[in-house]
Structure 1
Amino acid sequence: MTLYKNLHWFIYILFFFSCARQSAPTGGPKDTIPPRLVRVVPADQSINFKGKSLELTFSEMINLANPKEQIIIAPTIGKTYNVEARNNKVVLDFETTLKDSTTYTFNFRDAVQDVTEKNPARNLRIAVSTGSYIDSMSVEGIAFDILEQKALKDITVAVQPYNDTFSILKHPATFITKTDEDGIFQIQNLKPGLYNIYAIADQNKNLIVDSKSEQYGFKRDSFLLDQNIKDILLGLVKLDTRQLKITSARPYNTYFNIRASKNLKSFSLSAIDGSDVYFSYGADQSNILVYNTLQNKDSTQIKLHLEDSIQNKIDTALYVKFNKREVEPEKFTAKVDKAEVLADKGIFRATFSFSKPLKEIDFDSLRFSIDTSHVITFNQNDVIYDEPTKKLTLSKKFDKNFYQVVEEPTPVQPNIPDTTKSDKPEKPNIENEFYIGKAAFISVELDSSNQTKQSISPSRYEDMGVIIVETKQSPDNTIIQLVDNQGNIIESTIKKSYSFEDLQPSTYQLRIILDRNGNGVWDAGNYIRKEEPEEIFYWEDENGQREIKLKANFEIGPLLITY
């Protein structure tokens, strides 16, 4: 009886919570109209603002999506504010007092959404001033990946009033924004003055460049903002500016392991006593392995030179010491990465990668057989070997007439049974076989490669294509590169015009590098030295497409790259 008497209280509670919950109504057409700003207090473009909050009223019920990430306040006040949605309102409360005589902008981006279909309010941006006027200068441009030349979205772009002690590696900026889907950014309501600008793929959201893991770009020179500036280009690249150090040097397994604090551009080492030392990169280019090839001793002193991509260098001496205990060496492997035969030019090429540095090559165990009568052999002059990377190129020019078969007309013979044939099957000709015999390659630890055979179909002119490229004449040094769709460099030249020949049918791209220092390679810049990355430009057709679809027996070009 008591239960029935009090049942109405439970019904009231349920009714209350169902009314309070903001949810999408069911049924009806899909809502595609975003929330519309009806009123804001203080009003947009207000001056002499001394309040502690901002209140926005919308045309419908709204929710907030990741507000502390989506809402950008410039100049920044960090996270010292609270923001919440209340029915059809957004209220932003400041925990600290805003600076005097300063114009603040509040860019809500996609933070404010309706409760039905999560349509974000469009172009929701408010500016107020704590002084007697609204600052009106603006800066805009595009942030992009400098290697791929593609626009980057959601990149943090920062503008900082000039200060000769400010560092993007240590300090957060004052004015920030983020790029849109097309990589476009705009920072408005700035005071006239001298500024620096940079951009970060700010993964940890601390507004400071972490050069170990984040892409970033910068303009070397400050700029005077006395009128609106457009078309600023910020090319981003990942470039580690940390100090170069040796972080460890110790014996491991059958080698001595030297580890640096970052990837190296190059290194060299040699034994001070003149002993033969074998070495290579390890799992990555921050890791150097020195192998034990010493006779009757377990240590030696070496001279070591390290250099990173921003010209930091280390020259030092180390004692290399090896384990005395018996350790089973790691397995030695020899892999053919690519092998090709250009029949009409008489060229054989093959590239190898090894798991350990090489000590010896048995050239008697390497041959390419066109047929049983024409066998290509190799010697030391046909080899280019890079010890740090354990990569080997085998290249040989031979008589192209080996592939020129003259077919004689076959005379018509009467149909008489041939009684001279043996029942024993004929031994087939060996055709286009690359043979690598057992122990063709011997590693520094004296283990050997396995025997392998590979059939290589010869390529002829009609199987391949040519791409011809030209650049406009310029006093700048230029590097022309042909790359595949994964960005791998197929071939590179420093000529103003060039024919890329003997290309397999595929899709390619062409780009040029403005080689400022004339060293023949692309340099990624150096923030410490205020050096911007060298500029890169891609060839594009009249529709803005970069892909060059090369077919067999086609010659494309000349293609003109402009910049």
Structure 2
Amino acid sequence: MSKHGFYLFIIILFAGCASLTSPNGGPKDKEPPMLLTSSPKNNQTHVTATTITLTFDEPIKLNNPREEILISPSPGKGVEYKAKGNTVVIASKKPWKDSTTYNIQFRDGIQDLTEGNAPPDLNLSFSTGDYVDSMYVTGNVTDILKARRLEKIIVGLYDRPAYNPSNTNGFNIFNDTAAYITKTNKKGAFRFNNIRKGTYSIYAFDDKNKNLKVESNTERYGFRASPIQLTRPADSISIGLFMVDTRKLKITSIRNIGHLTRVRFSKLLDEYEIKPDSNITHSFGDQNNEINIWNPEETGDTIRFTLSAKDSVSTKIDTAIYITRSNVKAPRDGLKWDLGKPVIEAETGTFSTTISFNKPIQYINPDSLYLTIDTIATIPLTSKNLAPLPKSNNLSITTNLDLKYFQTKKEPTIRLIAGKQFVISIDSDTTRRTSTSIPITWTEDTGIIHIQTETRETHYIVQLLDRQGKLIASTTNTPRFTFRNVTPQDYQIRMIVDINKNGRWDNGVIATNTEPEPVYYYRTPKNSTYFTMRANWENGPLILKF
């Protein structure tokens, strides 16, 4: 081989090994790619070509383009995305609609090849008609009960009013797709660009199955009841998401098993009523989608009664139910119970707990239930201290102890004693003796929170929540209130406007175009919904404006 042939072989060898890769070493590339040219150009009119080409100042790559790149109005599923070198090509298999403005939000769908930097706020608009629509809509999406901004939530604009019983021609978010689609960013904010003038309904949902429609039993959603009149841009629209099952309420099964009848429903119930119920014991099952009915011992006949049930979106069932004792010998669970988490407040001497059972109780013997203090004093509990909770197998216990027990130098040892045969269940089984110690909440180990409301609302609920969202305490329609014996940890304060005056928060009902009851959170001077309480702290008054 000649010298020239050898050099040529080396050149070909190295040229063949060359490929487009990230360079090793050197400073980190922090600059996002810059768009140099696009076809069509931004805000171009009379566009007919179904291929869009974008050229950048550096090699780029695609990042999940079908999820990240949003074309609105949607041209359908027949869109292909390709990246090669510095160029991205988007091709629609279907022609664009006549006289329509399209907007493309690229989000994180295009990134540089080396570090994955995405061009910020990259948008492209064009029109197939004589002009480019100029209306826009901005806002944010939150989890309504947690005050948390939500990312990657679908927000849709529909150019018809929402469906309700008096407007059967309206759109249905469970069946229809929107005219315009966008997604929230990492801060929960959204923006629609280049929307034509008109009247729209707006809604948002967590599209887990990516079909651009709401699955009400698995996906959170929210909406605004009032339509948006786009004669000028609309700013700062807030949408709160909530979870509610809007499927039709129905009975899925009725099983007579020995002395027990189980009525199961297609979803959770909000409440139910049985008429007549004077001779029938009944309660919710382990979950609120089941009602357990114990058939009376004294009759072997079939019993007819009326069952009314309602779910959280006020869908109702009124039906006749027949129950009878069957010959099937179902295994009976033994009586189980839990003494709950009893607590005593030293400042007031208040004792409270809730005992839960796995079946209804037909007899309670208060004489077998009492408190002991240092094994010296015995505090009996009477029927006045006991309150069975309706339609559940729970028993609430409260009493007030003499404050002298908490004024000694030594902390008293207090126990709750449930003696043998404290209760007898519907199956005639009973309890064995059990006991539990009761922690004492001392003022010096806890804090105090003073609140003051400033609102025009006349019916509202103020709730104290821990960091996990658990309800600690609440008050209703109280301009000034003090939360006492607050244990050291982080808290939130939530305000609910109780529009229907039922003492609880109610979710929205899309079928009647009724929004959920408004929810607000107290925010600190640093704009956080959380604040810290320590032992022996007194906080407030915290001003709650809503």
Q: TM-score, normalised by structure 2?
A: 0.90
- The residue aligned with 2:85 is 87
Count of aligned pairs between the two proteins: 530
Of 26, 29, 32 in structure 1, the residue corresponding to residue 27 of structure 2 is 29
- Which one-letter code corresponds to 2:484 in the other structure? E
- Which one-letter code corresponds to 1:463 in the other structure? D
Contact 1:346 1:399 in 2 (8 A): yes
Of 439, 446, 457 in structure 1, the residue corresponding to residue 428 of structure 2 is 446
Alpha carbons of 1:353 and 1:12: their partners in 2 closer, same or farther (altered >3 Å)? farther
Show the 5 A alignment for 1:496-507: 496-507=479-490
Alpha carbons of 1:252 and 1:180: their partners in 2 closer, same or farther (altered >3 Å)? farther
1:547 aligns with 2:530: yes
1:225 aligns with 2:208: no
| Residues 418-470 of structure 1: CA deviation (Å, up to 9, x unaligned) | xxxxxxxxxxx994122122332332222333432222243333333322111
Determine the C-alpha separation between the residues in 2 that align with 1:336 and 1:377.
16
Contact 2:344 2:352 in 1 (8 A): yes
| Residues 283-304 of structure 1: CA deviation (Å, up to 9, x unaligned) | x221222234533527533321
Contact 1:357 1:387 in 2 (8 A): no
- The residue aligned with 1:523 is 506
1:383 positional shift: 1.3
Determine the C-alpha separation between the residues in 2 that align with 1:406 and 1:386.
38
| Residues 251-270 of structure 1: CA deviation (Å, up to 9, x unaligned) | 35863221112111111225
Of 394, 399, 405 in structure 1, the residue corresponding to residue 397 of structure 2 is 394
Show the 5 A alignment for 1:51-62: 51-62=49-60
1:122 positional shift: 2.6
Contact 1:438 1:449 in 2 (8 A): yes
Of stretches 176-185 and 510-519 in structure 1, the one that deviates more from structure 2 is 510-519
1:271 positional shift: 5.2
Larger radius of gyration: 1
Of stretches 138-147 and 501-510 in structure 1, the one that deviates more from structure 2 is 501-510
- The residue aligned with 2:243 is 238
- Which one-letter code corresponds to 1:433 in the other structure? R
| Residues 386-432 of structure 1: CA deviation (Å, up to 9, x unaligned) | 2433222111123323444599xxxxxxxxxxxxxxxxxxxxx9941
Secondary structure of the corresponding residue to residue 329 of structure 1: coil
1:459 aligns with 2:473: no
- The residue aligned with 2:371 is 368
Of 192, 204, 210 in structure 1, the residue corresponding to residue 209 of structure 2 is 204
1:224 positional shift: 1.2
Contact 1:334 1:355 in 2 (8 A): yes
1:156 positional shift: 0.7
| Residues 71-100 of structure 1: CA deviation (Å, up to 9, x unaligned) | 111111121211112232111111111111
Secondary structure of the corresponding residue to residue 468 of structure 1: strand
- The residue aligned with 2:281 is 277
Contact 2:450 2:540 in 1 (8 A): yes
Structure 2, gaps ≥5 residues long: 1-7, 162-168
Show the 5 A alignment for 1:293-372: 293-297=296-300, 299-372=302-375
Determine the C-alpha separation between the residues in 1 that align with 2:405 and 2:116.
71
Determine the C-alpha separation between the residues in 1 that align with 2:197 and 2:509.
29
Alpha carbons of 1:492 and 1:66: their partners in 2 closer, same or farther (altered >3 Å)? same
Secondary structure of the corresponding residue to residue 528 of structure 1: helix
Contact 2:453 2:544 in 1 (8 A): yes
Alpha carbons of 1:252 and 1:92: their partners in 2 closer, same or farther (altered >3 Å)? farther
Contact 2:198 2:230 in 1 (8 A): yes
| Residues 205-226 of structure 1: CA deviation (Å, up to 9, x unaligned) | 1111221111111110112111
Show the 5 A alignment for 1:531-542: 531-542=514-525
Structure 1, gaps ≥5 residues long: 1-7, 408-428
1:536 positional shift: 1.1
- The residue aligned with 1:68 is 66
- Which one-letter code corresponds to 1:280 in the other structure? F
Contact 1:385 1:392 in 2 (8 A): yes
**CA-atom RMSD, angstroms?**
2.6
Contact 2:507 2:515 in 1 (8 A): yes
Alpha carbons of 1:156 and 1:457: their partners in 2 closer, same or farther (altered >3 Å)? closer
- Which one-letter code corresponds to 2:265 in the other structure? A
Determine the C-alpha separation between the residues in 2 that align with 1:290 and 1:435.
30
- Which one-letter code corresponds to 2:419 in the other structure? G
Show the 5 A alignment for 1:472-491: 472-491=454-473
1:118 positional shift: 2.2
Contact 1:265 1:309 in 2 (8 A): yes
Percent sequence identity over aligned pairs: 34
- Which one-letter code corresponds to 1:217 in the other structure? G
Determine the C-alpha separation between the residues in 2 that align with 1:298 and 1:449.
31
1:146 positional shift: 0.8
1:350 positional shift: 1.6
- The residue aligned with 1:410 is none
| Residues 93-151 of structure 1: CA deviation (Å, up to 9, x unaligned) | 11111111111011121111223222223322111110111111100011111111111
